Chains A and B, each alone.
Chain A
Amino acid sequence: MTQSAITTTALTKRFGNFIATNAITFDVAQGEIFGFLGANGAGKTTAMRMLCGLLRPSSGEARVAGFDIYTQTEKIKQRIGYMSQKFSLYEDLTVKENIRFYGGIYGLSNRQIRDKTADLLQRLSLEQEGNMLVKALPLGWKQKLAFSIAVIHDPSIVFLDEPTGGVDPITRRQFWDLIYESAAKGVTIFVTTHYMDEAEYCNRISIMVDGKIKALDTPAALKKQYGADTMNEVFLQLARAKS
């Protein structure tokens, strides 16, 4: 068996009386694309924050990149990348300045930053735009750039929180090309999305309902299990069943 990138056992977070994540247990293998789905308010964001070391769990165990999420959060942060739809890049810095900054905070050397910058701009075909302010870029390009910067320090796991919201269909697919490319290099991808077709691109997906993981398998197996043609149907069946 391949080494696990993320393992959780009965991971729980309570806010007062409210149980945001209720004893979730799962395993993500290194190099896997893991889709983390659920309705709004099902507890996805809370779970993701705990795994990133931003939130201390109430109980349960979890290891990310081999490190304990209670005691080794600093080590975890060195080994993960994070990108969300909302806060990603500094709009008033240029493309190159953003790359420099993020390279810098992850401790890359000047030489590494220079090489990475050239390589990244070339791969995204942004050579012309290197000195442009980020806010002048179209949304889709920003998201692709944000992803590339999130993996600039070669993390072993990348967390993506609804990375493609509002992006046009072509760019959305180009974005997934980038994800595939990283996964092929062995990076583990942990991604949330509201696009159900994107769920199909994942190796395995979990569906959270009311703080619990209600289903966890490959898209094909889930569709078979629920007698559905699309992931959308699977999702609707599961999330509806709660009430």
Chain B
Amino acid sequence: MEPIVVQNIYKQFGNVSALHDISFTVGPGELFGLIGPDGAGKSTLFRILATLLLADKGKAMVNGLDVVKDYRAIRRQVGYMPGKFSLYQDLTVEENLHFFATIFNTTVKENYDLIRDIYEQIAPFKNRPAGKLSGGMKQKLALCCALVHKPSVLFLDEPTTGVDPVSRKEFWDMLQRLKEKNIPILVSTPYMDEATLCDRVALMQNGAIMQIDTPPAIVAEFRTKIWAFKSDDMYRLIRDLRAHPEVKTCFAFGEFLHVTMTAGPEEVSGSLTAGGHTGLVIKPANAGIEDVFMALMQAQTQPV
């Protein structure tokens, strides 16, 4: 039995279509990522799965239980970490953890094995009010609280948003270790680079899933050739490239520009050198999830 099954879910808020025909499944012990910017519909989807919202159409099952009919049973089995930091700011780290253990009818001790790795990192601050923790610490505490009742499914809504790269990396390391305990995890993130850390991902934009697959397969399927450009005056390079008739897209990517063209790089580079660009570097680039995402986004917004 698949732990999470989502079938043709629709959700509308007024005139805005928050979710449009969403379907996917998450297998046992799988780390599944919902990748997309704010407003893609990720949080709405989480709330439907956590039995907090009703979908307009479609069906969703968690551990074989229906999210509408069996909501009470599901609530006992899932661990949910909402997008916004949702712990009591005026309670200490320890009090928060203790409280969430008790309301799930368990104790911190009983399931300490599961949270030991994470809790030990924040244990030195256990008497500090949760509101005074740094962003990364808060997320770790929130994860502890979501795990303390040994859930059989974990929903993490944007756990790394607004968190610095170091804490983000630590957080993902923790998720990898949790995966070894065979807990299926559904996680969302707006950071494209985190997609590669998931087993499978769904790329979401404007309430729709644009693609679902493993990250390597998504990249492999992307056939468009990408070239990396660099010169001494990047701003002028962007403008010149975009103005060039052979250039289809041109986006900044770290220290390079990622460019797709209808012609070979030689023709374009010729006109750039003629235009006075110095220090020009042009090389083939490997597409990443972000390249694919942007290409899919453009395909989605352009009327067919």
Contact between chain A and chain B defined by CB under 8 Å: yes
Contact surface of A with B, Cβ cutoff 8 Å: 38-42, 138-140, 162, 165-171, 173, 176-177, 180-181, 183-184, 194-197, 200-201, 219-220, 230-232, 235-236, 239-240
Closest partner residue, chain A, to B162 (CB atom): A165
Partner of B37, one of A166, A180, A196: A166
Partner of A236, one of B134, B165, B253, B294: B165
A133 to chain B, nearest CB (A): 13
Closest 6 CB pairs of A and B: A168-B37, A40-B135, A166-B38, A41-B134, A39-B164, A200-B254
In the bound complex, CA of A133 to CA of B194 (Å): 34
B164-A168 in contact (CB<8A): no
Apart from A181-B235, A232-B193: 20 A-B pairs, beta carbons within 8 A: A39-B134, A40-B134, A40-B167, A42-B164, A139-B38, A139-B39, A165-B162, A166-B38, A167-B37, A167-B38, A168-B36, A169-B192, A169-B290, A180-B234, A180-B238, A197-B254, A200-B254, A220-B255, A239-B165, A240-B166
A98 to chain B, nearest CB (A): 20
In the bound complex, CA of A183 to CA of B233 (Å): 12
Bitwise, B222-251 to A at CB < 8 A (1) or not (0) is: 000000000000110010000000000001
Q: Count chain B residues whose beta carbon lies closer than 8 angstroms to a beta carbon of A.
A: 35
B39 surroundings in chain A (CB, below 8 A): 138-139
Bitwise, B274-304 to A at CB < 8 A (1) or not (0) is: 0000000000000000100110011000000
In the bound complex, CA of A214 to CA of B36 (Å): 33
Q: Check B205 for interface membership: any CB of A closer than 8 A.
A: yes
B166-A219 in contact (CB<8A): no
B200 to chain A, nearest CB (A): 20
B70 to chain A, nearest CB (A): 33
A196-B165 in contact (CB<8A): yes
B293 surroundings in chain A (CB, below 8 A): 169
Closest partner residue, chain B, to A242 (CB atom): B166
Partner of B164, one of A40, A170, A180, A184: A40
In the bound complex, CA of A201 to CA of B235 (Å): 10
B251-A170 in contact (CB<8A): yes
A140 surroundings in chain B (CB, below 8 A): 37
In the bound complex, CA of A39 to CA of B169 (Å): 12
The listed residue with most A CB atoms (<10 A of its CB), out of B162, B193, B255, is: B255
B255-A194 in contact (CB<8A): no
In the bound complex, CA of A203 to CA of B116 (Å): 43
Q: Check B219 for interface membership: any CB of A closer than 8 A.
A: no
A200-B166 in contact (CB<8A): no
A40-B163 in contact (CB<8A): yes
In the bound complex, CA of A177 to CA of B290 (Å): 18
In the bound complex, CA of A139 to CA of B235 (Å): 25
What are 30 A-B interface contacts by the 8 Å CB criterion? A39-B134, A39-B165, A39-B166, A40-B162, A41-B134, A41-B135, A42-B164, A165-B161, A166-B37, A166-B38, A166-B190, A168-B205, A169-B297, A170-B297, A173-B251, A176-B252, A180-B234, A180-B238, A181-B235, A194-B165, A195-B191, A197-B254, A200-B255, A201-B234, A230-B254, A235-B166, A236-B166, A236-B169, A239-B164, A239-B166
B251-A194 in contact (CB<8A): no
> With A197-B254, A230-B254 in contact, do A170 and B36 touch (Cβ < 8 Å)?
no
Q: Check B3 for interface membership: any CB of A closer than 8 A.
A: no
B162-A231 in contact (CB<8A): no
Bitwise, B166-198 to A at CB < 8 A (1) or not (0) is: 111100000000000000000000111100000
Q: Check B136 for interface membership: any CB of A closer than 8 A.
A: yes
A167 to chain B, nearest CB (A): 6
